[in-house]
């Protein structure tokens, strides 16, 4: 069983902080892109899948007709009867009752909505095109359309934001009672308007905000199951958890990553080129057939690299951890013993887990195993 990720690299407008691969929505280009995605998906007709994630970019920017065409095709190509989680990412301004109704009818059972900030002035600062009222109505429609598994994406550590303001905003978000929360510290990415305008962030304040979130969310019944993710019990994301378990998945769409038969790959991130190559695809192929012409990067994951990745990813899952059997080389064993001694890692039967007090220095810890 595989996961299926589909990338929709279109947005109405680029946010000032974002360097994810996406371009401005254009109806003609998106029509062609949807056709290309369908051709690409057809290559995997015989694969069994158990989760789908349609992300972006902004998947909800697609028109009702484009969405319907894509979802209908997925339904025809794949047997969706064993898909237990089907997530769709929404931006508040492009959410509508009709789109949500369509998603529901095609089996989408989890939504991820990008709120990003609570105050309108912070949303403006981030270059978002929605305001808090638009988010409230999108969320309200989603609940009215009976979506009972919703994630909210939120960022913290915005310039000038204080820990007190963050705590107040987080408590406001808790009033929505979403099943899942993803919280990300604002990072300044090269080439973004924030980078070009020398916007700064403060690591120490971001750390205090993270600690505050850990405390507030624990006392409100959320399980902290991954470094940046909290969920009500049993609402942890199945699809995303499988990335962290290092399971294989199909990646469809320009710029999307995938991982199949021990090969990690990245599709061409030029939309016109992606469309052109997809138009040449024929029949059902294995990953190593025609599909490789769609890839711009691929890497074979041999046993040693697999174990290193499994450690790096597994340690992100705070309650599951990484399998102790992956720490089998002399070097990894030595580092593991050091980390157990200085208590940055803990062992629980076969699971090696990150100690809660050291989550914020996760990157420094995993670097030791690379
Ligand atoms: C690629 S975005 C797609 C989600 C959706 N398009 C939206 O805008 O809400 C995934 C998430 O990554 C986070 N993100 C993107 N750029 C970031 C940055 N520079 N710093 C922190 N978080 C970021 C945001 O929270 C965003 O919701
Ligand atoms: S944060 Fe979302 S809406 Fe904003 S540019 Fe990135 S992908 Fe597009």
How far apart (Å, rounded) are the C-alpha atoms in residues 321 and 313?
9
Pocket residues: Cβ below 6 A from ligand 2: 11, 14-15, 18, 20, 22, 56-58, 91, 114
Our mutation pick for probing the ligand 2 site, out of 21, 22, 115, 255, counting the most ligand atoms within 8 A of Cβ, is 22
Phi and psi of 238, rounded to 5°?
-70, -45
Three-class SS state of 12 = coil
Residue 18 C-alpha to ligand 1 middle, in angstroms?
7
Ligand 1 atom showing the smallest separation from residue 58 Cα: 6
pLDDT at position 43, please? Answer: 93
Per-residue pLDDT of the chain (370 residues; tens, 9 = 90+): 999 999 999 999 999 999 999 999 999 999 999 999 999 999 999 789 999 999 999 999 999 999 999 999 999 999 999 999 999 999 999 999 999 999 999 999 999 999 999 999 999 999 999 999 999 999 999 999 999 999 999 999 999 999 999 999 999 999 999 999 999 999 999 999 999 999 999 999 999 999 999 999 999 999 999 999 999 999 999 999 999 999 999 999 999 999 999 999 999 999 999 999 999 988 776 554 445 689 899 999 999 999 999 999 999 999 999 999 999 999 999 999 999 999 999 999 999 999 999 998 899 999 999 8
CA distance 267 to 259: 11
pLDDT of residue 290: 47
Strand partners, 317: 226
Which CATH number applies to 2-243? 3.80.30.20
Prediction pTM value: 0.96
> Residue 140: which region, alpha, beta or left (left: phi > 0; alpha: psi -120 to 50)?
alpha
State yes or no: cis peptide before 57, omega within 30 of 0. Answer: yes
- Residue ranges per domain, the chain? 2-243, 303-367
CB 129 within 8 A of CB 12: yes
Instruction: Among 184, 190, 255, name the best residue to mutate to test ligand 1's pocket (greatest count of ligand atoms within 8 A of Cβ).
Output: 184
- pLDDT value at position 289? 44
Q: Quote the crossing angle between the two packed helices 64-77 and 27-42, to the nearest 10°.
A: 0
Work out which ligand 2 atom sits closest to the CA atom of 114: 2
């Amino acid at each position: 069983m595989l996961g299926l990720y589909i990338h929709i690299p279109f947005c109405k407008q680029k946010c000032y902080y974002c360097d994810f691969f996406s371009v401005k929505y254009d109806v003609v280009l998106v029509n062609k892109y949807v056709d290309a995605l369908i051709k690409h998906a057809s290559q995997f007709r015989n694969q069994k899948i158990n989760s789908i994630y349609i992300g972006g970019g902004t998947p909800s920017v697609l028109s009702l007709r484009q969405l319907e065409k894509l979802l209908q095709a997925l339904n025809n190509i794949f047997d969706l009867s064993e898909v237990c989680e089907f997530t769709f990412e929404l931006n508040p301004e492009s959410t509508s009752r009709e789109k949500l109704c369509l998603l529901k009818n095609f089996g989408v059972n989890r939504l991820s909505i990008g709120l990003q900030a609570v105050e309108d002035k912070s949303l403006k600062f981030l270059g978002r095109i929605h305001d808090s009222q638009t988010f409230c109505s999108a969320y309200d429609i989603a609940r009215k359309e009976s979506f009972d598994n919703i994630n909210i994406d939120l960022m913290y550590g915005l310039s000038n934001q204080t820990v007190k303001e963050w705590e107040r905003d987080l408590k406001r978000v808790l009033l929505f009672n979403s099943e899942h929360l993803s919280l990300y510290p604002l990072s300044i990415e090269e080439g973004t308007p924030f980078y070009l305008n020398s916007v700064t962030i403060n690591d120490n304040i971001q750390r205090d905000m993270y600690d505050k979130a850990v405390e507030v969310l624990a006392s409100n019944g959320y399980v902290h199951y991954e470094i940046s993710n909290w969920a009500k019990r049993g609402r942890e994301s199945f699809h995303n958890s499988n990335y962290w378990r290092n399971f294989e998945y199909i990646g469809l769409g320009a710029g999307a990553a995938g991982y199949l038969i021990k090969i990690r790959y990245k599709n061409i991130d030029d939309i016109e080129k992606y469309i052109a190559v997809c138009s040449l695809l024929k029949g059902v192929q294995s990953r190593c057939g025609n599909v490789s012409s769609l890839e711009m990067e691929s890497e074979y994951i041999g046993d040693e690299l697999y174990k290193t990745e499994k450690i790096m990813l597994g340690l992100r899952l705070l309650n599951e951890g990484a399998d102790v059997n992956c720490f089998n080389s002399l070097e990894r064993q030595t580092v593991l013993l050091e980390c157990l001694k200085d208590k940055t890692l803990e062992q629980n039967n076969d699971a090696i887990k990150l100690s809660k007090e050291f989550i914020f220095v996760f990157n420094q810890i995993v670097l030791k195993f690379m």
